[in-house]
Structure 1
Amino acid sequence: MSPSGLVRLPEAEDPAKLYEQLREQYGPVAPVLLHGDLPAWLVLGYQENLDAMRTPSLYSRDSRRWHAFQEGKVPADSPLLPVAGWQPLCVFADGDEHARLRGAVVDGLAQFNRRGMRRYVTHYTRELVQQFAAKGKADLVRDYAEPLPMLVASRLLGMTPDEGPALVEPTLDLVRGSETAAASNGVVTTVLQDLVQRKKTKPGADLASRLIAHESGLSDAEIVEHLRLVLIAAHQGTVNLIAHTLRLIFTDSRFRGKLSGGYMTLPDALDQVMWDNPSINIVPGRWATGDTMLGGQQIKAGDMLLLGIAAANVDPRQRPDLSLPMHGNRSHLALSSGPHECPGGDIGRAIADTGIEELMALLPDMRLAIPEHELGTTSDWMARRPSALPVTFTPPRSKSPRATVATGSAQPLPDAAASVPEPQPSAAKPARWWRSLFSRR
């Protein structure tokens, strides 16, 4: 708590409790402080978030409107810069410019079909499991949830297989709001700049090549920044989605019962997770284009708004009874709404859905290695997820040589996918792990 009595968001140890305290004290929109004691408005209400998301004429995505930037109050090394500093990105644009930039990203992502995605995810899941299977134990956050989305997303962008793993930690760090966020952002940006130059001479069926050739005429800076945007969103969001879902499978008997009893499919289960534990709790931000009112608060021109996704998803006006199931209901705000709704949401869902299915098929007898109450949580001002998921299992008997991925330039998705062996029938039947859920009740 600051001397002014306002909450500093990075200091919140229990975000869910904090959101409810702020809601009770201020209503659906609450004043808070960010790094450097910079003021902002945290939007807690479901409808208020929709209003901010869907009304760019009142709440712009152009962060150059923020009076803190205009008044020189944000230092060059501020951890806010990687997520709030203006860049030539569709997420910082409105109107025709937003349509031009977003159109290029949407077209670039549209080339990846779900079958090709599943091949990549299946292959990299086996690669990761191979690394720890013989030990009979693993931390499913560090050993699986964190590397898998990066391995898949980096290949979709056009990177070589050895480039993706090195970006896992920098990508996680740059959105934490840590003191090293700016440096981590520089590491990721340098890799992407090199990728763009390489793809100009050796294009492929990947996102980098599609953005370079797109008819919207993106500059090199715009291409690099949009690749960075997709990489961060696909990685950070999917890591949290996988980790939250796995934790529920291992700890929530009702969740397991609905899955094992056929009352809920895994894709539908992901929606339940997105309601209760969205991958990103707070999205910065929107900037008021003029003086206005939102949630009973007087918003001034240039004020910064933080979209409180996690708080909005449990708004008592929207969900008066949190015990009621929401699986299959996609009206959550985990992927935002309006003109800036996440264009790659289906890619993240495909990675999580296929990755969890394949992991549980390969290691169907996994159990938590520690009591549930000892599971920790990693939390920062934007996101929250399990810090570790230690499990034990029976080491599987290897029935086929380990599949390998060739190094060098990423191949077109269909060709690369075709080189990945299909799952062996004995290891790929989902029924094996669905049935095993009964024994965990």
Structure 2
Amino acid sequence: MTANFPEHASAAHLAPPPGCPAHGRAPESLYRLHDADVQADLVGVQEVLRAEYGPVAPVLVHGDLPAWLVLGHCENLEILRTPSVFSRDSRHWRDMAEGRVPPHHPLAPITTWQPLCVFVDGEEHRRLRGAVTDSLGRFESRGIRRHVTRFTDQLVDRFAATGQADLVGQFAAELPLLVMTQLFGMPDEHGPSLAAAVQDVLNGTQTAVASNEFITRTLQQLVERKRANPGHDFPSKLIEHSAGLGDDEIREHLRLILTAANETTVNLIANALRMVLTDPRFRAHLTGGHMTLPDALEQVMWDEPPMMTLLGRWATSDTRLGEQAIKAGDMLLLGLRAANADPAIRPDLTAPVHGNRSHLAFSSGPHECPGQHIGRAIADTAVDTLLTRLPDLRLAVPETELEWSTSLMYRHLVALPVQFTPSRR
């Protein structure tokens, strides 16, 4: 089945009224992924698209710009491992080149080309990524875990005596940035404001551009401080690296790592805790020693990966993917969560996945997440320390009352209310 995009989808088209079965779909019958009703059930919409189009489906993003949403596991891997055909360089994007992605566009902060390893391929990618991976590799998991344990204890101490907490707002949402400020050599108090700005950018809100400017300004000041007074931290290691990165390159890679590490690790911690609290088999296996916590995290990354959709890839030439005709300049969105649930590789989604790391939670290929060892160390240590401190942790509401907030890239637990026996440190 081949779906041809209209030459230029118009933002002037009106969506059907709320409650209409076609609400969230453009007159061309393409789903608007930026529509609030579509995002409210994006997981369900993805399965509708899989049934209708197969592993590659035509959709619309902000401004009714056309894109391809890739749902199949095999098709996602083909894109991730073939940068010569599916490039990370957004300058290939036809709509951006032709002026349909203005600076104030909600996707502009994460699609406008920048001197980043995630926006280049080939030799330049190897140079920039090498600097990032080498610098991150200077930090051992053991040292990261010490930071995580310290901050976990501090956060738990705030609510341990009350016997109740929201493990999203009071724990998962705060911990990763506290740890990252240590790796960045920043004061602890910078964490909350940076976390809010990062989330705003990734959600593509109307204030995303202003939030992006705040992040850029804060990190530029950090680079200037570290050039004057280097230390044992990630910015200093980037500055010292033999790749000879300029200030702009260093600043933008700091922003990249900060963004990726915070948002994905918040989700990984929250989703792991939700599974511990709602799946009796999981909790029984975990406490009984039949499933290690790292194994449990891998199951979470299959079922509820930290990032739902990865933007983006751009076709460098006309090609075919999943029976669809892809044109040069087309944008492709990688449906990581949908790929993990592809019936072609997981016919039974209820079956546990032990020792299998072929999920796409951290992407794959040359652009695979370079900081995944940090995310794993933070989530693993955080959950383990929390369960040790509060061994009788239990959900305070029925599982059916848990709420989710979904954007194009992420699906968040809004809150995870729990109860436990009050204690003091």
TM-score, structure 1 as length reference? 0.89
Deviation at 1:134, TM superposition (A): 2.5
SS of the equivalent of 2:313 reads: strand
Alpha-carbon deviations, 1:38-79, whole Å to 9, x = none? Answer: 000001100000000000110000001101111100121111
Question: Identity over the aligned pairs, expressed in percent?
Answer: 59
Is structure 2 residue 357 aligned with structure 1 residue 330? yes
Structure 2: gaps of 5 or more residues? 1-24
SS of the equivalent of 1:3 reads: coil
SS of the equivalent of 1:42 reads: strand
Is structure 2 residue 164 aligned with structure 1 residue 140? no
Residue in structure 1 matched with residue 209 of structure 2 by the alignment: 182
Deviation at 1:105, TM superposition (A): 0.2
Residue in structure 2 matched with residue 256 of structure 1 by the alignment: 283
Is structure 2 residue 301 aligned with structure 1 residue 274? yes
Alpha-carbon deviations, 1:252-286, whole Å to 9, x = none? Answer: 11222221232211101111000010111100111
Residue in structure 1 matched with residue 31 of structure 2 by the alignment: 7
1: distance between equivalents of 2:46 and 2:284?
A: 30
Contact 1:155 1:164 in 2 (8 A): no
4+ long deviations beyond 4 Å: none
Is structure 2 residue 181 aligned with structure 1 residue 154? yes
Contact 1:238 1:351 in 2 (8 A): yes
1: distance between equivalents of 2:355 and 2:268?
A: 15
Residue in structure 2 matched with residue 191 of structure 1 by the alignment: 218
Q: Which of the residues 35, 45, 49 maps onto 1:22?
A: 49
Q: State the superposition RMSD in angstroms.
A: 1.0
Moved more, 286-295 or 12-21: 12-21
Deviation at 1:178, TM superposition (A): 1.2
2: distance between equivalents of 1:185 and 1:329?
A: 36
Residue in structure 2 matched with residue 364 of structure 1 by the alignment: 391
Size of the alignment, in residue pairs? Answer: 398
Is structure 2 residue 313 aligned with structure 1 residue 286? yes
Residue in structure 2 matched with residue 215 of structure 1 by the alignment: 242
1: distance between equivalents of 2:297 and 2:75?
A: 24
Contact 2:157 2:424 in 1 (8 A): no
Q: Which of the residues 54, 59, 64 maps onto 2:91?
A: 64
2: distance between equivalents of 1:243 and 1:397?
A: 23
Residue in structure 2 matched with residue 376 of structure 1 by the alignment: 403
Is structure 2 residue 233 aligned with structure 1 residue 206? yes
TM-score, structure 2 as length reference? 0.92
Alpha-carbon deviations, 1:383-423, whole Å to 9, x = none? Answer: 1121100112222133xxxxxxxxxxxxxxxxxxxxxxxxx
Which amino acid in 2 is paired with 1:8? R
2: distance between equivalents of 1:111 and 1:24?
A: 46
Q: Which of the residues 310, 318, 338 maps onto 1:311?
A: 338
Alpha-carbon deviations, 1:107-160, whole Å to 9, x = none? Answer: 110011011011000000011112222222211001100110010012112212
Deviation at 1:195, TM superposition (A): 0.4
Compared CA separation, residues 139 and 37, structure 1 to 2 (3 A) = same
2: distance between equivalents of 1:58 and 1:333?
A: 20
SS of the equivalent of 1:385 reads: strand
Which amino acid in 2 is paired with 1:4? E
Deviation at 1:241, TM superposition (A): 0.4
Residue in structure 2 matched with residue 238 of structure 1 by the alignment: 265
1: distance between equivalents of 2:114 and 2:354?
A: 36
Deviation at 1:97, TM superposition (A): 0.4
Which amino acid in 2 is paired with 1:109? L
Alpha-carbon deviations, 1:352-388, whole Å to 9, x = none? Answer: 0000110111111222221211111111111112110
